[in-house]
Amino acid sequence: MTPLTYFRAADRADALARIESGARLLGGGTNLVDLLRQNVEQASELVDVSRLGGAISETDSGGLLIDASVRNAALAADPRVRRHYPVLARALLAGASAQIRNMATVGGNILQRTRCPYFYDVDGARCNKRQPGAGCDALDGFNRYHAILGASDQCVATHPSDMCVALAMLDAVVHLAGPGGDRSVPLTDFHVLPDATPDVETVLKPGELITAVELPPPSAATTNADYRKVRDRSSYAFALISVAGGLALADGRVTQVRIALGGLAARPWRATRAEAALVGAAPTPDACLAAIREELAGARPLSGNGFKIDLVERTTVAVLTALAGAHP
C-alpha cells in the first residue's frame, strides 16, 4: 500500500505552494484516481482544488469565463452555454455518465490522459508515454481507437476528451497560473503532438495549474453548431471519431465555418484546411466532402483504423449539411 497525503487547498496561492512542494492536483478525480489505483501514475501528496472558484461569469467582451473547478454537469446545464455555445453542452452530455459529469471538473477534463489500453497495461505492455524509451505496442497491436493524424513512430495515442473538441472549435483560451505569473494559451495550442517525446502532453510548465477557460463572444457559427460522436456503443464509450461543427451562411454561401475533430490525434484537431476550403462556397455535400478530404490528405492510418478516414468524412458532411439546412 502506498501512503498518500490529502490536502484541500484554501486558495490559489495555497494550491500553487503545494504543487511546488511536489503535490499532485486533484479535481473531480475521475481520471487521476483511476491512474493511481492502476499504478500508471504515482503520487504521495494530493491537493484538492475542486472547491476553488466554481463560477461561470460573463466577460466584458461578451464571452464567458469558466473557472477550472466548474463541474461538467453545471457547465452543460448553464443557460448561456446552451443558448450561445450549444456544441459545448452537447459534447459534455456525450462525454460520460451523469455521475461522472457531476464529479468531473473543466480543468481535469482538459488534463485527462489517453485511454490507450497499452498505456494502462503497466505490467504487460510497452508504452513510451508511460515509460519513455520503452517502445509503443500500439503501432503493431490493437489500434482501432488510435491516431491517424499528428502521430509519430513513438506514440499513436489519442486525446479522449469530448469537451476539448468543442472548446477547440469555439477558439477557447486556457488561463494558467504558476511561479512565473499568469498566462493564457489557446486551447488548440495547449496539447502537444507526440513527436519524439510522447510523455510531454501539454504546454504546462512545472508548478502551473489551470485556473479558467475563456470562451470568446458568440457568433453565428457558434450558435448554429453541433457535436456528433461516433462510438462502438451508444453510451459510456470513448469516441472512434467525433466532429464539432459550426456554420454561418449569407446568400447561400459559407461566411463562417468552424470544424474540430476528435479521436484522430493526441489533441483535438482543428480542421483549418477544411475551413479555408469552404469559406465562400455553397455548403453542398460534394463541397463539404472535398474540404474534409483536403484536411485528411496527410492522414496515416494504422492496420486497424483505416476506417476512420471514411467515417470522419461521412460524419463531417452530415454535420455541416444539417447545419446548412438549419441555418436561419
pLDDT in tens, 178-202: 999 999 999 999 999 999 999 999 9
Is the pLDDT confidence value at 145 over 60? yes
Q: Are 211 and 67 in contact (CB under 8 A)?
A: yes
Cβ-contact 193, 213 below 8 angstroms: no
- Asked if the model's pLDDT at residue 23 lies above 80, the reply is yes
What is this structure's pTM?
Answer: 0.96
**If pLDDT is split at 50, 70 and 90, which confidence band does 25 have?**
confident
Least confident of 166-170, 233-237, 280-284: 233-237
Strand order in the sheet with 5-8: 5-8, 45-48, 24-26
Predicted confidence at residue 2, as pLDDT, reads 73
Question: DSSP of 140-206, one letter per residue?
Answer: SS--TTS-SSS-BTTB------HHHHHHHHTT-EEEEEETTEEEEEEHHHHB---TT-TT--B-PPT
Highest mean pLDDT among 5-9, 194-198, 232-236: 194-198
What pLDDT score was predicted for residue 326? 74
Is the predicted pLDDT of residue 33 greater than 90, yes or no? no
Kindly provide the b/e burial profile for residues 66-79, where b requires at least 16 CB atoms within 10 angstroms of the residue's own CB.
bbbbbbbbbbbebe
Residue 132, SS3? coil
Residue 64 and residue 58 in contact, taking contact as beta carbons nearer than 8 Å? yes
Stretch (H or E) spanning 7: strand 5-8
Task: Please give the pLDDT value at position 233.
Answer: 87
How much is the average pLDDT of 303-308? Answer: 98
At 273-290, the pLDDT tens digits run 999 999 999 999 999 999
Q: pLDDT, tens digit, for every residue of 95-142?
A: 888 898 999 999 999 999 999 999 999 999 999 999 999 999 999 999
DSSP-assigned letters across all residues of 216-248: PPP-HHHHSEEEEEE-SSSSS---SEEEEEEEE
Question: Of residues 1 and 311, which shows the higher confidence score?
Answer: 311
Domains and CATH numbers, the chain: 5-50 (3.30.43.10), 220-326 (3.30.390.50)
Q: What is the mean pLDDT of the chain?
A: 95
Asked if residue 1 has pLDDT above 70, the reply is no
DSSP labels for 23-48? PEEESS-TTHHHHHHTTSS--SEEEE
% of the chain exceeding 70 in pLDDT: 99
- Asked if residue 174 lies in contact with residue 186, where contact means CB atoms within 8 angstroms, the answer is yes
Per-residue pLDDT, 4: 85
pLDDT at 211 over 90: yes
Of 309, 264, 260, the C-alpha closest to 289 is: 309
